[in-house]
Amino acid sequence: KMKACVLLSLLGYLVAPSGTSVMGRCTVAKKLYDGGLHYFEGYRLENWVCLAYFESKFNPTAVYDNMHGDFTGFGLFQIRNNNWCDHGKNLCHMSCADLLNPDLKKTIECAKIIVKGKDGMGA
């Protein structure tokens, strides 16, 4: 029984998709903290981590097309292209592809611009 269990565990590691860019919760928290988001505009680190989980399940390369076609969400926070990047209003002054980098620098920069607006994190 023990051999079978160990073998199945090892097999699970071998068939796990390679190149998956989903981050662990602690890695996300550290990057967001280091990026200055803890208490930024009154939002605690926990708020940012929760947002990242519910928007992308901690996947900084996630891209979601809205079924009505009015926007596409990019990255950890699923930042929308119609207002914040590329060909929309581009209020973050960056390419949407910049929001897919696992280093999260551009994502954090854009998130700071977004939450300074009247809708805060709701935007």
pLDDT in tens, 11-32: 344 434 445 589 999 999 999 9
pTM of the predicted model as reported, rounded to 2 decimal places: 0.81
Question: Quick check: is 55 catalytic?
Answer: yes
96-120 mean pLDDT: 97
**Average confidence (pLDDT) over 86-112:** 96
Catalytic residue among 41, 46, 55, 109: 55
In angstroms, the CA 88 to CA 99 distance is: 15
Spell out the alpha helix ranges (H) of the chain: 2-15, 25-34, 45-56, 105-115
pLDDT tens-digit profile of 32-43? 999 999 999 999
